[in-house]
Every structure is written in C-alpha cells, then in structure tokens.
Amino acid sequence: MVEFHCSMNRLLTLTVAFSTLFVAGCSKSPEKTSPPAGATTTTTGSAQGLKEIIKEDLVVGKPSEFVPKMAPASLGDRLYVRYKGYFINGATFDRNDSDGNVYAVTLGNAEVIKGWDEGLIGMQIGGKRKLSVPWIKGYGEAGDRNIPAKTDLFFDVELVDMVKYKMEKTYDIIDRVKGTGREVKRGDTVTVDYEMRAAGQSRIIDSTKIQGGKTMTFQVGTDEMIIAVEDACVGMKLGGVREARLPAGLCRVQAQGLAGVPSETVWYVKLKLLAVK
C-alpha cells in the first residue's frame, strides 16, 4: 500500500511500481529544456515568414475548482501541458499528447523557446491553444536537431494544470462529503480509505481498492506521511470525504513499471475518514 513519510525538507518522493507507491527519498525536479525536437520527422518545414506569435484559443479553460479565483497563466507560473509540435506541412516533429504524460515548464524562466514563454501566457486550466511561432522566437537561424534553420513552428497545446508563482508549497482541499461527529484534530489517530490520481487523468494511480482493501492508519501531526495530507485530515468528520490538491512541491512521484505516470505534476488525493480516536 502507500507508505507516506516526510523528509527533512518536507518534499516527498514516491516510486510508482506496478500500481504501488513506495517511499524512495527526496529528489529534485527533472531538468527541463526547450520542447525537444524528436526523431519522428520524415519531411521538414521551411521558413514561412510569420512576423509575430499567433495565439488561437480552441478551448477556453477555467480556474481550478479548488482555486476558483486562480488567475490565468503568467510569468513565474509552473505549467503542466500536453502538446504536439508540427511544421507548416503538417509533419509532426515532437509530441507528448498521446502517452498520458505532461511536460512541466516555468514561464519566463528560459526553459523553453520564446514562442512558448510568450504564447502560453493567459491560458487557464483545461484550455487548448494553437500557437504559430515565427522562427525568430523558435529555434532561430541555426535550427535544432531536426528543426531546419529559420523554420516557423506550430503547436497544439493543452494546459492540464498549473501552480501559480509562490504557491508551490500551498495545497487546497474540497469536502465532497461532510461527515458527522467530532472533528479530527492534531494528535488523533485516523484510518482512511484513499485514492490518488494525476492532474488531467481520470484513472486512479493508487488506492485502497487497488491495494486489496488495505486502508491507511496514521497519527495526524506526527509527520508519518505527506504533511499536506495529514493537515488535510484536520477538521474532517467520520464518514466525510475530502480531496486535496497537492502541487509537485509537496509530492513527487517517480514512475517505474507504470506507463503514463508523470514524474512531476499536480496530484489529487481523496480521503474517506473511516475511524478516529
């Protein structure tokens, strides 16, 4: 089952192996570069003479239900996206929109091409946007691997989730079911059913059901598991169901043997309080 333990800096790393989450110690975020030019292209593009970035919103997103007043994407925000990159002739040069994973990027941090740093501003969660990027804000005069020099690029981008600047260690909760009886307080020992899923995915990565009915029992406020999850239990009542939204700054997952599990994303943990003492 899921064993949650907190490290000194309260950053948890979990290892996902065959639908089971085990502690693996802390890790840093993976290094990010410009959207990689994959090796899937059989034909190349050429300079098309775009003068500026063109942004076309195919689907307008909205704030997270956990953060109703969340502002649109801006510089400094951490975005989790799925995308397809292609040339004017339609040939795809890179994509991650078919394997369930997400690509993480901090806007304005020079982790991606300027066409992305500028073109993703203003998006909301669930939004889908087509970007037309002039070569000067793409890979420039030199090109990159299988991107020819001075080539305009096109991207279909979906914003799966995002974490606002300086909110990397902030979690949010929603009560799905209120429950009855006294409220959980720090120092109480609780037993919960749980489910865990990644942003933008409906499938459950790990749960009491997947683990053959094994529940989790822990003492709230003793750092036995993810701090945010312990904190999220405070105020729950027996039979209550609460869901917590956890940024990657509070919970990281390393996938081993389970396809489509992002190494970094926003995680959602749903808890049902079965017992408290």
Residues catalogued as catalytic: 83, 93-94, 113, 139, 155
DSSP for the chain, please give it.
-------TTS-EEEEEETTEEEE----PPPP--SPP--S--SS--------S-EEEEEE-----TTSTTPPPP-TT-EEEEEEEEE-TTS-EEEE-TTSS--EEEETTSSSS-HHHHHHTTT--TT-EEEEEE-GGGTTTTT-BTTB-TT--EEEEEEEEEEE-TT-TT--EEEEEE--BSSPP-TT-EEEEEEEEEETT--S-SEETTTTTT--EEEETTS-SS-HHHHHHHTT--BT-EEEEEE-TTTEEEEEES-TT--SSS-EEEEEEEEEE-
Strands 172-177 and 128-133: unpaired
d(CA 92, CA 84): 7
